[in-house]
A and B are shown apart, each in its own frame.
Chain A
Amino acid sequence: MFGLAMHSNRPSFRLISAFSMIVACLIGRPAMGQTLPATSMATSPSAPSGDLAIPVRPLNIDMPLPAADAMVAQAQQAMQRGRPDLALAPLNSALELFGRYNRLSRQADALLALAEAQESLGDYAAAMGSLEDSLCLSRSLGDQPRQARALSVVGSVQTCLRQFPAAEESLAAAMKTADGADSELRGAILNNSGALAMARGRYAEALVDFVEAGGFAGPELIAAAVPSPLTARAAVNAAGAAAAAELTNALEIDQQAIELAWNLPEGHDRAADLLSAGMFGESLAARSSGLAALPASTVAVAAVDSPAADRLLALRAMNEAQKTARDIGDTSLECFSTGELGHVYESAGQLDDALRLTRRAEILADPAGPQLYRWQWQSGRILAATQQPDAAIVAYRNAVASVAPVRADLALGYGNGPAGPTFRQTVGPMLFELADLLLRKSDGLAGPDAQASLIEARQTVEQIKSSELQDYFKDDCIDAAHERLKNIGSIAERTAVIYFIPLPDRTETLVQTSTGITRYKLPVGSAELDDTVHRFRQRLEDRTTYRYLTEAARLYDWLIRPLKSQLDAQQIDTLVFVPDGALLSVPMESLYDGDKFLIEHYAVAVTPGLTLMDPKPIRRQNMQVLVTGLSQSVQGFPELRFVPVEVGSIEKIYGGTELLDRDFVIPNLRRELSSEPFSVIHIASHAYFGGSSQDSFLLTYDGRLSLDDLQRLIAPTAVPSNGKLRPVELLTLSACQTAAGDDRAALGLAGVAIKAGARSAMATLWPVDDQAEATLVSDFYARLKNDPNLSKAKALQQAQQRLMTDRRYSHAFYWSAHLIIGNWL
């Protein structure tokens, strides 16, 4: 479901449509702003300074100022043509004039208009700044309606930024301030409240808001309303809410919304509303009446009479939107509606029409804008469906190149559902489809050509990894050092890097060794693989039975057995996995060949991507170790009885600094970490990884460390003698847990080293029996210290093998929870 960020033709007014996944980005330019702190302007004291003791109203002259008024009108026209970028300059000039001649209410209005333009350009930070100024001004004037308008827009920007509680507060304050104001202002606020409810996935609540916003007597009586920007927008939004709530009358509501929007005056609003309503209607009608053939895209839809009347009505609205956008010179909206029409034809299987429309959208798209990749991707899909794989690969490559600069913005905007779209829902499928095409292409090739295709497929997978981590951590600094790693053989002998690429119909495995890439195909699709992996994880956590062996053996047969003869022939002793999705949440070392576990044959490590890591062996000389731990029960978390033993045993091996319990507080950590460049940081405390980095933390005696805090604390420090950055070699989190069944949580764990700026991490997928943990960890460190040639992966392998010989800990729950992440050397 897509929709659009909307602008009313009144500068003092703000209406938004609730349905877009990527609303503001689609129509505007990429956002430049970072996520803002969730401040609520509703409660912040924002009166101008000096205004605290005696309220003195500033001088406000309520008279026209023709020069500035003309600039505002020019900005309005730009907005109506879908060119918010052209509204900025006239608004800024007008603002200056209004200020100079004390037209303060007008200045407040112009600031609001500026905020709207900035918002539709995706610059949420600038929009918030303008809104704050506008709000200040209206407050000083004691102008309640203007304050209410500003607060309402604040609420909508906060909705886009997914700061839901703050948005709710702002909108409630707006409603309170607007008490007694005209019904149109109240309607606008209600509309924004509905958009917030949509973004939170509360569709029924949203529908009530939209019906009330439009002043409709009920969902069935929408067409009877007087057409206005507010009623049309509220009606379109109501249709989207009804569709999302899967109400049976959704299509009926949508058709009334189309009628209402049709009668709006020519302009951006009319086109945008018709397009949104048409898109809802299209997907609703396709769902109910099936995929009847559509009239050719070149035929005037109105002239065709067909049994699929519902679909045609929707298609007609989209066509009208396209035409209107073209007529008013709103290229961005024309591009969007053309591309969406292409999508309609693609869904109907009329691929010639689909490709023609999509190519047209590609031409119309702003080369630096956020729409282009979507239409390039759509072209690629259509070309692949029409058996033109080479052309499809070119289209996909273009799409991948176009999405890079705008990707970070795709997670913002009005989304349906509280979590916001993840990488897997936005760009992920595109990259997987490209990898799929490249892998298939290598089927028909041999020698260097086949290798080239496989290398590109591997690069694509690497890109998936880095994008996904950026998305998880909301951190653009996590980026692949492209092709830093040409040949795995040059950094590690007898090592194989194994990529698993789950696709809908099969799972592909790429094995990279010193001799090149070998490809294996497994006729098991991603859904079946995921099911098995999730069951495996669930059963691994159950210490009462060995049922996990069933899945451990099945996964071995699927994923490892086919590779075995190659691994044997090349005398491989270390496997580095680049797993995908669900596979990140299980320890590969516990796969089972019917007699032995994988760890009994190979040292194992996991990395979210080879290009993401710095392939240097761990320094063994002068290792400076910071050992921290929390054994006492704090903040409702249980005690960890063996932590003092664990901490003590590491200290015995390495010496170093120790922060235990009362000393394990954030100020001490900060002091220690800024005073010395530690090479190993060991944290024996509860750590939790959730579905996003906001839900993830590490427990200290006095509070919780977020992953951002951790990053700031242990970021590489420069060595005083030569100024070189010296990152932490190893970060150990010995009591981590990842939410079971949540593949994103495992992603967070896998990315923790990269996020924290450490070369590698050792961490647990689930918390382990205290004594087993203490035994394994101290054994690992002792081995690392005693044999300078032993890699981290091998030290862990040996420690795990020793632990599993202890009858108490023979269940893989105890010995397989640990992962070496990132640099395994």
Chain B
Amino acid sequence: MNLHRYVASLMVGAGVILGSVGIRPAGAAAPTTAPSYSITYVPPGADLPVTRVNGPVRGSAGGGPNIFVLSPEHTGLTTQDQPSLFWYLDRPAGNVKAMLTIVQAKKPEPLLEMQLDASRPGIQRVNLASTSCHLQAGAEYTWVIALVPDEAHRMNDVTRSADIRRIDPPEPLVDKLLTLGSTTDRAVVYARSGIWYDALAAVSDQIDATPGDPMVRGLRAALCNQASLPEVAAFDTRALSLK
């Protein structure tokens, strides 16, 4: 995509955001408790190509756990060199091994290959800061979550993948962020600016900080719905209704 157009869209997004924080009513995707915030993910461009892979493979054995990568359908953005990646497991994977792999197209060796804990269902976070993996600015990567039932026959893997690109944050956005107080404010700004991964990480940080706050869970559910991940949104919504 054209970089100029892209930066421009970020600036517009950042400009609009001020008016919306705190005063917008809950959107259609909002869960049972109306949040005092609303969040809107604005894709960093129009008609972006789909890069997320969510779908079954022919011939593979069905009935196992399902996984989703928390990403928009197009390539998501981050400003971090070691962002957090989120994925969702709908039921415990038992003895099946789960793997995270980060690769670049046509590069044989992956940047990262690590085993994940797949014993608990729910939304899982992998903070790359705990690994030696750094993303280069401007470069695009594919991250893949795989359930590996049989290491000798990887054809049977259940895989979900998404693309991620690291960008340098545009100056106006940096300035704006400095004026904002709360993590939630940041999440809303990132989402408006089309920086998916940072928005999701900020919301999740706030969920970790205030696990009992239904509002922030509602924000994450809203983000997931906006990324066509209703199954994942339902997880946060369920967590709300249990409260």
Contacts and interface: CB of A to CB of B under 8 A. Distances in A.
B99 A544 contact: yes
A686 B108 CA distance: 31
Given A541-B154, A544-B159, A810 B55 contact: no
A696 to B, nearest CB: 14
A542 B144 CA distance: 11
Contacts of B107: 546, 549
Contact of A549 (B58, B108, B146, B163): B108
A196 B146 CA distance: 45
A541 B49 CA distance: 25
B55 A770 contact: yes
A480 interface: no
B62 A768 contact: no
A465 B3 CA distance: 56
Interface stretch (A26-34, A633-641, A651-659): A633-641
A807 interface: yes
B110 A638 contact: no
B138 interface: no
A641 B56 contact: yes
Interface in B36-88: 49-53, 55-63, 75
A545 interface: yes
Given A766-B59, A807-B51, A538 B108 contact: no
Given A546-B107, A638-B62, A740 B153 contact: yes
B114 to A, nearest CB: 11
Interface in A765-786: 766-771, 773
A769 B160 CA distance: 11
Contacts of A541: 153-155
B144 A638 contact: no
Contacts of B56: 638-639, 641, 769-770
A514 interface: no
Interface string A541-558: 111111111100000000
B157 interface: yes
Contacts of B103: 544-546
Contact of B113 (A545, A633, A637, A773): A545
Contact of A807 (B49, B99, B153, B154): B49
Contacts of B105: 546, 807, 810
* Main SS class of interface, A: loop
B243 interface: no
B106 interface: yes
Contact of A735 (B53, B58, B161): B58
A57 interface: no
Contacts of B225: none
The secondary-structure label for the interface of chain B is loop
B171 interface: no
B101 interface: yes
B62 A546 contact: no
B94 to A, nearest CB: 18
A808 interface: yes
B165 to A, nearest CB: 12
Contacts of A639: 56, 62
B121 to A, nearest CB: 21
A538 B61 CA distance: 18
A544 B110 contact: yes
Interface residues of B, number: 35
Contacts of B146: 543-544
A544 B144 contact: yes
Count class of interface residues, chain A: 20 to 34
A118 interface: no
Interface in A735-792: 735, 737, 740-741, 766-771, 773
Contacts of A810: 105-106
A807 B105 CA distance: 9
A547 B108 contact: yes
Nearest to A592: B106
A767 B51 contact: no
A595 to B, nearest CB: 9
B62 A543 contact: no
Interface in A604-659: 633, 637-641
A137 to B, nearest CB: 52
B155 A545 contact: no
B93 to A, nearest CB: 16
A638 B155 contact: no
Contacts of B59: 637-638, 686, 735, 737, 766-767
Interface string A538-579: 100111111111100000000000000000000000000000
Interface string B139-181: 0000010100000111101010101000000000000000000
A806 interface: yes
Contacts of A808: 50-53, 161
Nearest to B50: A808
Contacts of A546: 103, 105-108, 110
A803 to B, nearest CB: 13
A768 B113 contact: no
A545 B106 contact: no
Nearest to A633: B62
Contacts of B51: 807-808
A770 B110 contact: no
A639 B106 CA distance: 32
B57 A769 contact: yes
Nearest to B64: A638
B142 to A, nearest CB: 8
Contacts of B55: 641, 769-771
Nearest to A538: B154
A633 B60 CA distance: 11
A46 B60 CA distance: 46
B49 A806 contact: yes
A737 B154 CA distance: 13
Nearest to A684: B58
Interface in A524-545: 538, 541-545
A544 B155 contact: no
Given A547-B108, A808-B50, A542 B58 contact: no
Interface string A659-680: 0000000000000000000000
A740 B151 CA distance: 12
A583 B58 CA distance: 23
B152 to A, nearest CB: 8
Interface string B105-126: 1111110010000000000000
11 contacts: A542-B154, A543-B146, A544-B157, A545-B109, A549-B108, A638-B59, A641-B56, A686-B58, A735-B58, A770-B55, A771-B55
Given A542-B154, A544-B103, A773-B58, 14 more contacts: A543-B157, A543-B159, A546-B110, A637-B62, A638-B56, A638-B61, A638-B63, A737-B155, A740-B152, A766-B59, A767-B57, A769-B58, A770-B58, A807-B49
| The 10 residue pairs across chains A and B that have the minimum distance between CB atoms | A767-B59, A638-B62, A767-B58, A542-B154, A544-B101, A541-B155, A549-B108, A735-B58, A807-B51, A544-B144
